[in-house]
Amino acid sequence: MAISLFRTGRKLKTSPSAPLLEHGTLPWLLAVALATAGPHVSHLPPWLSLLAGLLLVWRALIWQRNGRLPPRWLLAGLVIAGSAGIAFQFRTLFGREAGVAMLVFFMALKPMEMKAQRDAFVVIMLGFFLLVTHYLYSQSIATGVWLLGTATLLTATLIRLSGGAQPVRAIVKYAGLLVAQSLPLMLVLFLLFPRVSGPLWGLPLDAHAGLTGLSDSMSPGSLSNLIQSGAIAFRAQFSGQPPEQSRLYWRGPAFSLYDGKTWRPDPPPAPNPRSATQPIIEARATPISYSITLEPHNQRWLLALDLPVALPENSTLAPTFEALAREPVRSRARFAFRSSPDHVANRSEDSAMLRQALRLPPGLNPRTRTLAAEWKQALASPEQISAAALRFFREEQFFYTLRPPLLGQHAVDEFLFATRRGFCEHYASAYVVLMRAAGVPARVVVGYQGGEINPVDGYLTVRQSDAHAWAEIWVENKGWLRVDPTAAVAPSRVERGIGASLGADEPLPALVRLDAGWLQTLRHRWEAADNAWNQWVLGYNPQRQRELLSRLGLANADWAKMIAALAALGGVCLLLVAFWTLYQAPGTPAEVRAWQRFCRRLERFGIRRAAWEGPFDFAARVVREHPDLGPLTNEAAQAFADLRYGAGRPEQLKQLEACSRRIKSIPASRRERA
């Protein structure tokens, strides 16, 4: 028999001790489910988002039509089917992606069985927990504002659930007041709670699966795909004047191993005892001091300005000159460097390293090898061979584009002599193959080139669209020399950025092509605010906490001192909030004070009102037990009831106060009998 989705007439069965869920609270609970689970739609499989949305719409229609909830066997089937679908989608029920999917699914399914208030409390608690999961994907200002508003909605729903029907505006105002009262304590906890490096709980391996950035290999198309993203890779702040755009080469990994299509880093060669085992960088000018705030990219390289001469703590300089952190960068972090763009790097190089920088896969690209052999025979030095290659790129009809044609087995031959259309990885790769074929040690380096100064806060912003590839050759007594073949084809790429070097039909992000002045100003202000949030909120690490505590006179504070300070300031905040709450509490109404005064004067005659007695019950008892005081008590009780519970008139307050005064006129003989 078919199941009706909106059956009516069935009485809900609940435990005698479990109050039924009030009809008017369901829209609040559905709003909670939508607000806490809705932003996760961009991370969920489309089928799961559709299923969750249908469940919430179904529950809203049942509420609107006073229909019956679906049977338990149907809900059980949905649980099994949804869980199986999530397990099939993610190949597990654990980890960030699968775990969040399960929470969203249960948040959408729980309202389908809500009957009692305790079910509603489960939805609210699940909503608070689901809020935390949003920070696994984004920690931006917008996310923080959204979560603060959603926390206010959850608090308002609790008020509505516990306090019954009230005006929506009053509920939201009260919830906002409660959240505002928590802010001072939240600030104290944020500033003084002992910070730890990394998250407070271990994250699953897939928690960093969505991070973008440079890869540990390079093949045609890898950088051009990355450049289509306008996401920020890192920000840099210089202690003085920043270098000019053409000198801003931010070094990532260097690749020496080539299989004809893909470049990869070679394992470090075994050190030669007769050569230096550590990179030797000779600065030929005053080094530049700066710091970078690096976005998480799940790799070890720190993207220092080429080349670093002073590194941050817990980092090393690889034999190929990239700065490496001890662990992959999985959260936003700040690093201080000193670099010298004018330098000599490794005048003497390890012989095994040089052999690696000459290797080419056999049998590939014969035309390229022939051209390089001609240069080697005709030219006397590596610098002359390099100049011949750059002149070849500059004088022949090469084109700089993000949409190059596909290349076959002899990729470099096809690029140099047929298609001649490519991006920076094509030019860097072809140049290094030419140099190696001519007997010049060379390798590919990837990183970022350029950046944009934000006039609001003075930070240099480097985006994924600034990703770049260049080359290095080694010359005896001169060390490794940077060569950028792209500059020979599209010099505007190095001098003015990626947006100035590509046509309007190229798939660049909108941020790169933004030319409206007011839009640029708006973007600069937003990014400056976001940077301040990153620096002072998300970047509040143990080091910055120690700096703050030192200013507060708690230098070298250990956990015990920090907990003591936290307890003291937390107590002060709670006291201030308590005093403020008491000060803001409305005073006792005048009619209540007048009624209480009347009752206290009756106590002189042994007539005490019980706490449970209303005004009319009390007056009736006085009439029975003390007939001479009955009329006066009836008059006072009627005036108080009208003022407190009805549409009382101002003169009735005066009447109630007069009743208190009239008690004094009772004959002395009555007072003596009392």
392 pLDDT tier (thresholds 50, 70, 90): very high
* Catalytic residue (one of 134, 424, 426, 466): 424
What is the distance between the alpha carbons of residues 229 and 170, in angstroms, rounded to a whole number? 45
* Catalytic residue (one of 468, 573, 599, 659): 468
What is the distance between the alpha carbons of residues 606 and 105, in angstroms, rounded to a whole number? 65
Q: Is 271 or 332 the better-scoring residue by pLDDT?
A: 332
Active site residue 426: no
Domain ranges in the chain? 23-165, 222-513, 590-673
pLDDT tens, residue by residue, 371-380: 999 999 999 8
pLDDT at 586: 62
3-state SS assignment for residue 243: coil
pLDDT tens, residue by residue, 158-172: 988 887 777 888 889
Which of 182-196, 275-289, 402-416 comes out lowest in average pLDDT? 182-196
272 pLDDT tier (thresholds 50, 70, 90): very low
pLDDT at 186: 82
pLDDT at 507: 63
- Are 650 and 642 in contact by the 8 Å Cβ rule? The answer is no
Q: Is 489 or 495 the better-scoring residue by pLDDT?
A: 489
pLDDT at 593: 86
567 pLDDT tier (thresholds 50, 70, 90): confident
Position 472 pLDDT exceeds 90: yes
Per-residue CA distances from 339 to 181, 305, 336, 537 (Å)? 48, 6, 10, 28
pLDDT, mean of residues 625-642: 89
Position 286 pLDDT exceeds 50: yes
pLDDT at 218: 86
What is the distance between the alpha carbons of residues 541 and 203, in angstroms, rounded to a whole number? 18
Which of 58-67, 142-151, 198-207 comes out lowest in average pLDDT? 198-207
pLDDT, mean of residues 428-450: 95
Query: Which parts of 465-585 are beta strand (E)?
Result: 467-475, 479-483
pLDDT, mean of residues 397-403: 87
Which of 141-145, 565-569, 623-627 comes out lowest in average pLDDT? 565-569
pLDDT at 415: 92
Please, which residues have CB within 8 angstroms of residue 464's CB and are 6 or more apart in sequence?
A: 212, 213, 226, 227, 229, 230, 231, 232, 233
Per-residue CA distances from 312 to 309, 316, 329, 461 (Å)? 10, 8, 14, 20
What is the distance between the alpha carbons of residues 287 and 310, in angstroms, rounded to a whole number? 9
Tell me how far apart the terminal alpha carbons of the chain are, to the nearest angstrom: 79
Average pLDDT score, the chain: 83
Please, which residues have CB within 8 angstroms of residue 606's CB and are 6 or more apart in sequence?
A: 674
pLDDT tens, residue by residue, 1-39: 344 444 444 444 545 555 677 888 889 999 999 999 988
What is the distance between the alpha carbons of residues 503 and 132, in angstroms, rounded to a whole number? 43
Task: Work out the percent of the chain whose per-residue pLDDT is above 70.
Answer: 86
pLDDT at 573: 73
Nearest to 75 by CA among 23, 3, 13, 161: 3
Sign, Cα dihedral of 299, 302, 305, 307: negative
pLDDT tens, residue by residue, 103-158: 999 998 988 888 888 888 889 999 998 988 888 888 788 888 888 999 999 999 99
Omega cis (within 30) before 192: no
Enter the tokens of residue 11.
Answer: 């009485």
What is the distance between the alpha carbons of residues 299 and 333, in angstroms, rounded to a whole number? 13
Active site residue 424: yes
* Catalytic residue (one of 306, 484, 642, 659): 484
Active site residue 468: yes
Position 385 pLDDT exceeds 60: yes
